[in-house]
């Protein structure tokens, strides 16, 4: 196996398994923050925790989209015939 094939398999593993799981986890964290913010409207401490959860979820999603873009650039650099890697949610 060549180095190019090894890197391609590693990138496919990230796109096929790890990345969709992390996107889902960050989105669930964001939604949990929204629920805390909405349903705990009378408790200011819980509302602040909800805002923090929403913020962490958005930051996590932004970081993951950035990493996904870097992986797309790396994949295109190594093997232009692969196309843009899009995470597949199964």
Residue 60 class from Cβ within 10 Å (0-12 exposed, 13-18 middle, 19+ buried)? middle
SS3 content of the chain, % helix, strand, coil (to 5): 85, 0, 15
**pLDDT tens, per residue, the chain with 90 residues:** 788 778 778 877 776 778 788 888 889 988 988 888 888 778 888 888 888 888 988 998 898 888 878 877 877 777 766 655 555 555
Give the pTM: 0.63
Which token pair is 11? 């990138």
Which among 24, 77, 75 has a CA at the least distance from the CA of 85? 75
Distances (CA, A) of 35 to 40, 50, 59, 88: 8, 7, 18, 27
């Amino acid at each position: 196996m060549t180095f190019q094939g090894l890197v391609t398999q590693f990138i496919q593993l990230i796109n096929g398994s790890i990345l969709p799981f992390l996107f889902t986890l960050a989105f669930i964290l964001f939604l949990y923050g929204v629920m805390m913010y909405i349903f705990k409207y009378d408790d200011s401490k819980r509302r602040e925790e909800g805002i923090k959860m929403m913020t962490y979820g958005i930051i996590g999603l932004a970081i993951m989209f950035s990493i996904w873009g870097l992986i797309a650039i790396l994949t295109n650099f190594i093997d232009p015939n692969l196309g843009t890697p899009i995470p597949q949610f199964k």
